[in-house]
């Protein structure tokens, strides 16, 4: 008994028990009776039995004191597991029975003794200790303070690393109880790994549901301390930090925004952050103090480094204030170190792929690519240091990467006369700045190639710097691929530029790099394909000036360039390399008729003029049947000698029509004026090239291909046997008729001649031979 009461008949009961009895009587419709005598009671009044209660309390106090003393003696490592468990159970009992008993436990110095039992080798004992400590400190600030002394909290945190155990669950529950004290929040968070483990538990799918909830509630309590909020953000629980940026007092907003700028976030998180606090950070950037603006800019710099999050920031309105910060001069302007951050953010958002030309950023619907704004960017590039220059060049790289904005930038560069200034960055020692400039010039080159060639052709040294970048033996970098691509885009017939490259030994360096890539000495990088494509394109430009530059012919001979291009025809999967190689072979083959060594016929004998019937023409063997002279691949670039015909014929079946067109153009040099066309036809027959050529005509894939195919087919049909054979192919005749009706003027004339060869159009010149 705890609260004894007496009935009217003198019987004594525990208050709770007799009240329950009377309730059952009432619910069953019976009159109240005494549980012992079963006699009906006139009244259910309960009279407290004070004397008995005092006696019980005295006895209980003496008994609990004795049991507590026994428990105290049992709380040591030497006691049996059972004794320790019973002692801990008793301590839990008295603390749950009465809040005041927690003071008794504290005053008896039992808390340190209970903590010491965490050293027990028994898992049951350790679990019971953690459970008991939770009961002892629940809603008792003084007990929590004692428990937090020394390394106890650190010990409790260690139990969090016990995977899937009762100890782990009890430790989380105890930490949750301790975290209700604001004074202890900082201590829990200061223990290395505590927040990391708790955050991990909240995202665990294998954890007990109640344990996950307790871990989550513990973290919610720990959010009262700013340092803990930072740690949570660092360990992937970002929402508390974002909430502080949105709702916290100004000084907290500032510190949290600054910390956000220091965090390394994964890309998915950047998108979430941009959506959650992007607008708030942009507002701080627009109107806060310089310190606040710095914190906001650094946070936005971190968020904007991913394309998807950059797009969110653009839609939230970052572009106008960002451009304003960059262009503003005077009292309220940003210091240069922050302008660098602004330039970095602008480079990030512009390179996100968003249509920035649709965003108004100034009066009269001006956009970032309006001429005045591009001029302002170019002026900034000229008047700032390398770090900002690099970021602003990256802005222009982004703007020139889009087909909708590149022409605006090109027009502004031309109108400002900034071409030479931009080209000069090729010489700077800073790698990032140099690479940004080369990438920009690469984007500009399709639209202002001649201007760039003129700038590079000077004596200042930019061309040498560009070649030096390409020739670096450091693997293959993005910068090298961009440099090769830039040179490849410059006008290929610019004789001055090619001569300067010859003088500087550029082609020998490029040949060396191409050979190493083909031999497998350089491989396995992301940029090997664009690098090789650029190098081959640059190398091909030497074949466009063969008739004007003897040095080009000498280079091709000495370097065996024709053989290299024939080898590159077999670079399967690299369409641009195959196309450019075929085009280069076309140029080389066109020179073959000029470079072949014509035979020197022996002088006729003494009697030859008198008796010509007795003289025989000299027979010279080993001559090229097409070029009628002594040919070789190295000296005269003869396709026959290089066994290139079969390889070119194989490319006529390529899926890329540009490769097909280049291969057909190279083959057409065997049928050109100045060579033995009939022998050229025979060579194509032997290479089984007639049918593939006819197939190209029939497919009509592009107008250029049809024009080229009609020209070749007309030359083939000059051979009677082929004309006779083809005359039976109705589809070939139909294709020629279609070209005769619908092609351009010159192709129609050639198609007409072809149709005459197969007797589809009368040949009036045979009927009226003397008409002129």
The answer, yes or no, to whether residue 771 has pLDDT greater than 80, is: no
Asked if 220 and 176 count as a contact pair (C-beta separation under 8 A), the reply is no
Q: 40 - beta bridge partners?
A: 33
- Tell me the C-alpha distance between 753 and 759, whole Å: 10
Asked if 173 and 134 count as a contact pair (C-beta separation under 8 A), the reply is yes
The answer, yes or no, to whether residue 472 has pLDDT greater than 90, is: no
Q: 472 - beta bridge partners?
A: none
Phi, psi (5° rounding) for residue 511? -60, -40
Q: Which of 33-42, 56-65, 533-542 has the highest mean pLDDT?
A: 533-542
- Tell me the C-alpha distance between 173 and 169, whole Å: 6
Asked if 32 and 25 count as a contact pair (C-beta separation under 8 A), the reply is yes
The answer, yes or no, to whether residue 757 has pLDDT greater than 70, is: yes
Phi, psi (5° rounding) for residue 225? -105, 125
Mean pLDDT rounded to a whole number for the chain: 89
Question: What pLDDT sits at residue 768?
Answer: 41
Q: Which two tokens stand for residue 758?
A: 């197969």
Phi, psi (5° rounding) for residue 630? -85, 115
Residue showing tokens 């961009």: 482
445: left (phi over 0), alpha (psi -120 to 50) or beta: alpha
CA distances 307 to 257, 390, 394, Å, are 21, 19, 14
651 secondary structure, DSSP code: G
The rounded percent of the chain whose pLDDT value lies above 70 is 94
Interval 389-411 mean pLDDT: 94
Question: What pLDDT sits at residue 262?
Answer: 92
Asked if 258 and 250 count as a contact pair (C-beta separation under 8 A), the reply is no
Q: String of b and e for 70-107 (b: at least 16 CB within 10 Å)?
A: ebeebbeeebeeebbbbbbebbbebbeeeeebbebbbe
Question: What pLDDT sits at residue 66?
Answer: 65
Question: What pLDDT sits at residue 772?
Answer: 38
* Nearest CA among 747, 738, 769 for reference residue 760: 738
pLDDT digits (tens, 9 = 90+) for 267-310: 999 999 999 999 999 999 988 789 999 999 999 999 999 999 99
Q: String of b and e for 700-734 (b: at least 16 CB within 10 Å)?
A: eeeeebbbbbbbbbbbbbebeebbeebeeeeebbe
Between the CA atoms of 488, 493, 497 and 502, what dihedral angle is there, to the nearest 10 degrees?
90
Q: What ranges do the domains of the chain cover?
A: 7-41, 688-771
Question: What pLDDT sits at residue 99?
Answer: 87
Helix residue spans in 75-149 (DSSP H): 81-97, 101-107, 110-116, 123-137, 141-147
Between the CA atoms of 179, 184, 187 and 189, what dihedral angle is there, to the nearest 10 degrees?
30
- Tell me the C-alpha distance between 263 and 233, whole Å: 8
pLDDT digits (tens, 9 = 90+) for 98-107: 888 888 888 8
Asked if 356 and 319 count as a contact pair (C-beta separation under 8 A), the reply is yes
With a CB cutoff of 8 Å and minimum separation 6, the contacts of 44 are 22, 32
Asked if 555 and 561 count as a contact pair (C-beta separation under 8 A), the reply is yes
* Nearest CA among 268, 344, 332, 240 for reference residue 299: 344
Question: What pLDDT sits at residue 767?
Answer: 43
Which stretch of DSSP H or E encloses residue 475? none
Helix residue spans in 384-477 (DSSP H): 386-400, 406-416, 419-423, 431-456, 462-471
The answer, yes or no, to whether residue 634 has pLDDT greater than 50, is: yes
Question: What pLDDT sits at residue 770?
Answer: 45
The answer, yes or no, to whether residue 178 has pLDDT greater than 80, is: yes
Question: What pLDDT sits at residue 64?
Answer: 67
**Biggest alpha carbon distance in the chain?**
174
Q: What angle do CA 14, 19, 22 make, to 5 degrees?
A: 130
pLDDT digits (tens, 9 = 90+) for 62-95: 766 767 777 777 888 888 999 899 989 988 888 8
- Tell me the C-alpha distance between 281 and 296, whole Å: 5
SS3 state of residue 48: strand
Q: Which two tokens stand for residue 539?
A: 């190398």
Which stretch of DSSP H or E encloses residue 694? helix 690-699
Asked if 201 and 215 count as a contact pair (C-beta separation under 8 A), the reply is yes
* Nearest CA among 409, 486, 412, 411 for reference residue 455: 486
- Tell me the C-alpha distance between 82 and 125, whole Å: 9
Interval 697-714 mean pLDDT: 91
Asked if 146 and 111 count as a contact pair (C-beta separation under 8 A), the reply is yes
- Tell me the C-alpha distance between 188 and 178, whole Å: 9
Residue showing tokens 């009262």: 224
Between the CA atoms of 483, 489, 492 and 495, what dihedral angle is there, to the nearest 10 degrees?
-50
Interval 404-422 mean pLDDT: 94
Question: What pLDDT sits at residue 707?
Answer: 93
Question: What pLDDT sits at residue 764?
Answer: 53
- Tell me the C-alpha distance between 101 and 606, whole Å: 144
- Tell me the C-alpha distance between 602 and 739, whole Å: 49
């Amino acid at each position: 008994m705890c609260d004894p009461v007496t009935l009217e008949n003198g019987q004594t009961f525990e208050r709770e028990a007799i009240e329950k009895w009377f309730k059952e009587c009432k619910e069953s419709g019976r009159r109240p009776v005494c549980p012992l005598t079963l006699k009906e009671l006139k009244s259910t009044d309960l009279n407290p039995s004070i004397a008995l209660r005092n006696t019980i309390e005295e006895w209980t106090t003496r008994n609990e004191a004795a049991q507590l003393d026994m428990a105290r003696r049992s709380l040591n490592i030497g006691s049996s597991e059972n004794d320790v468990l019973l002692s801990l159970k008793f301590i839990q009992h008295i603390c749950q029975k009465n809040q005041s008993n927690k003071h008794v436990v504290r005053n008896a110095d039992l808390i340190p003794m209970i903590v010491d039992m965490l050293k027990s080798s028994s898992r049951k004992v350790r679990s019971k200790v953690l459970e008991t400590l939770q009961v002892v400190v629940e809603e008792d600030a003084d007990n929590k303070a004692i428990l937090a002394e020394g390394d106890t909290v650190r010990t409790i945190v260690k139990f969090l690393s016990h995977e899937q155990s009762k100890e782990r669950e009890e430790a989380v529950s105890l930490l949750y109880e301790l975290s209700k004290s604001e004074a202890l929040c900082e201590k829990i968070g200061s223990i290395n790994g505590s927040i990391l483990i708790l955050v991990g538990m909240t995202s665990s799918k294998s954890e007990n549901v109640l344990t996950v909830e307790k871990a989550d509630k513990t973290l919610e309590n720990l959010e009262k301390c700013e340092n803990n909020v930072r740690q949570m953000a660092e360990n992937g629980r970002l929402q508390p930090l974002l909430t502080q940026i949105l709702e916290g007092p100004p000084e907290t907003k500032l510190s949290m925004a600054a910390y956000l700028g220091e965090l390394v976030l994964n890309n998915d998180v950047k998108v979430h952050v941009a959506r959650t606090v992007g607008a708030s950070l942009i507002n701080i950037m627009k109107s806060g103090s310089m310190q606040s603006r710095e914190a906001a800019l650094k946070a936005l710099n971190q968020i904007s480094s991913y394309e998807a999050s950059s797009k969110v920031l653009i839609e939230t309105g970052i572009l106008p204030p960002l451009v304003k910060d960059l262009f503003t001069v005077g009292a309220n302007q940003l210091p240069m170190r922050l302008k660098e951050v602004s330039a970095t953010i602008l480079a990030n958002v512009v390179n996100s792929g968003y249509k920035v030309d649709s965003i108004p950023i100034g009066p009269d619907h001006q956009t970032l690519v309006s001429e005045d704004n591009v001029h302002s960017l170019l002026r900034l590039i000229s008047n700032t240091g390398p770090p900002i220059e690099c970021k602003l060049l990256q802005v222009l790289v982004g703007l020139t990467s889009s087909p909708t904005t590149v022409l605006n930038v090109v027009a502004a560069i031309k109108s400002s006369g900034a071409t030479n200034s931009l080209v000069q960055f090729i010489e700077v020692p800073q790698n990032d700045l140099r690479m940004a400039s080369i990438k920009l010039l690469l984007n500009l080159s399709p639209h202002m190639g001649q201007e760039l060639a003129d700038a590079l052709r000077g004596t200042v040294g930019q061309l040498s710097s560009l070649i030096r970048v390409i020739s670096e033996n450091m693997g293959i970098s993005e910068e090298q691929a961009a440099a090769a691509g830039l040179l490849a885009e410059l006008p290929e017939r610019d004789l001055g530029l090619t001569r300067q490259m010859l003088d500087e030994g550029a082609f020998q360096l490029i040949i060396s790099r191409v050979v190493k890539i083909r031999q497998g000495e350089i491989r396995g990088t992301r940029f090997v394909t664009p690098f090789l494509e650029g190098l081959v394109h640059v190398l091909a430009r030497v074949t466009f000036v063969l008739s004007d530059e003897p040095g080009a012919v000498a280079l091709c001979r000495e370097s065996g360039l024709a053989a290299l291009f024939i080898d590159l025809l077999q670079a399967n999967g690299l369409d641009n390399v195959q196309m450019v190689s075929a085009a280069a072979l076309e140029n080389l083959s066109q020179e073959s008729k000029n470079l072949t060594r014509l035979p020197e016929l022996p002088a006729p004998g003494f009697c030859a003029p008198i008796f010509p019937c007795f003289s025989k023409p000299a027979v010279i063997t080993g001559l090229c049947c097409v070029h009628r002279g002594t040919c070789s691949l190295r000296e005269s670039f003869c396709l026959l000698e290089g066994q290139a015909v079969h390889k070119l014929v194989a490319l006529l079946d390529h899926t890329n029509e540009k490769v097909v067109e280049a291969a057909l153009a190279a083959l057409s040099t065997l049928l050109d004026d100045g060579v033995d066309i009939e022998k050229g036809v025979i060579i194509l027959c032997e290479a089984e090239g007639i049918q593939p050529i006819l197939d190209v005509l029939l497919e009509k894939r592009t107008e250029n291909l049809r024009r080229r195919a009609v020209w070749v087919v007309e030359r083939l049909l000059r051979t009677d046997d082929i004309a006779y054979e083809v005359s039976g192919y109705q589809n070939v005749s139909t294709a020629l008729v279609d070209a005769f009706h619908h092609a351009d003027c010159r192709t129609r004339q050639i198609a007409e001649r072809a149709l005459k060869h197969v007797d589809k159009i009368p040949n009036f010149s045979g009927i009226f031979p003397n008409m002129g």
